[in-house]
Amino acid sequence: MTDEIRSAIDFYERHPISAEIIKAKLLDARGTLENVAPDELFAHDQDHYGSLAANDALAQRAGIAQGSRVADFCAGLGGPARYLAHRYGADVTGIELTPARVRGAAELTQLAGLADRVRVIEGNVIAVPLDGGSVDAVISQEAFLHVPDKAKTLAEAHRILKNGGRLAFTDWVAHRPLSQADAALMWAGMAATNLYDIPAYTKLIEAAGFTVTSVDDLTADWAEILKARLAMYQKLRGETRAAGTASGHDAFYESYVRFVELVSEGTLGGARFAGVKA
């Protein structure tokens, strides 16, 4: 196991967004976990910026519709996968590295009654356990920052897509190189590996065999979202401690505060890329 893999798993095993905290919130709000509707989970299970609108943006760019076969790279607790199944009628297979999140995704998907259309399987996106030419769309929300070999990840997306299939994903970008101290902090606190600027990332996607169809710089949107997110993490930290579940770790909070500054000043940011398998 590489350092990057160990670090990403370690980070997400302790992440404050977990199936346990989501179930605790549901129990608190409705007194039972019987008959949970998918919509009831969506306020809690999306581990990316921009929530459901960010999923709609990917769905549009990836042409996702009723019956589309979709792979969700780095699926987390399955939030985007369940949303695409529920809202668009897609059949979604998530690929997720962290065992606790794979287990959490299965539990939440079962609770929401979507197990016939959504499955999150344990795997690494640099070697995806799906057949070549087997999906109509590959999506990913804000996760490739953890994956050092983005070229291999994009090559895997290309391999499993049918001809004419579409890729749409969001990720961190570095508009300017990070100082050594900031890069070390982002690695120690958030398991962030190598980052690209938008032109370099676009070239990488093209090199994997895609025709790039759109690129959206999300940095200004993220700067606003992140301020609210930081406040949410601070609140969650108290709640997770009260509930006795994973509450994240100090390096995470320290690096998150700096991350919010770096996005606000425009050194780091986010982007949404879309392409088609030529």
Ligand X SMILES: C[S@@+](CC[C@H](N)C(=O)[O-])C[C@H]1O[C@@H](n2cnc3c(N)ncnc32)[C@H](O)[C@@H]1O
Of the candidates 136, 81, 141, which has an alpha carbon nearest to the alpha carbon of residue 106?
Answer: 81
Burial class (CB in 10 A: 0-12, 13-18, 19+), 253: middle
Q: How far apart are CA 29 and CA 23, in angstroms?
A: 10
Q: Which is nearer to ligand X, 24 or 71 (CB)?
A: 71
Using the rule CB under 6 A, which residue among 124, 193, 219, 247 binds ligand X? 124
Structure tokens at 127: 């070697």
Interaction between residue 119 and ligand X (CB under 6 A)? no
47 binds ligand X (CB under 6 A): yes
Nearer to ligand X, 36 or 92 (CB): 92
- Which of the stretches 93-101, 207-215, 231-239, 265-273 binds ligand X when contact is defined by CB under 6 A? 93-101
Nearest-approach distance from CB 50 to ligand X, in angstroms = 10
Decide if residue 173 touches ligand X (CB under 6 A): no
Give the containing element (helix H, strand E) for 30. Answer: helix 19-30
Q: How far apart are CA 103 and CA 101, in angstroms?
A: 5
DSSP state of 74: S
Question: Binder to ligand X among 97, 157, 168, 262 (CB under 6 A)?
Answer: 97
For residue 85, the number of C-alpha atoms closer than 13 Å in the C-beta half-sphere is 25
CB of 31 to ligand X, least distance (A): 26
Binding site for ligand X (CB under 6 A): 8, 12, 46-48, 74-76, 79-80, 95-98, 101, 124-125, 141-143, 146-147
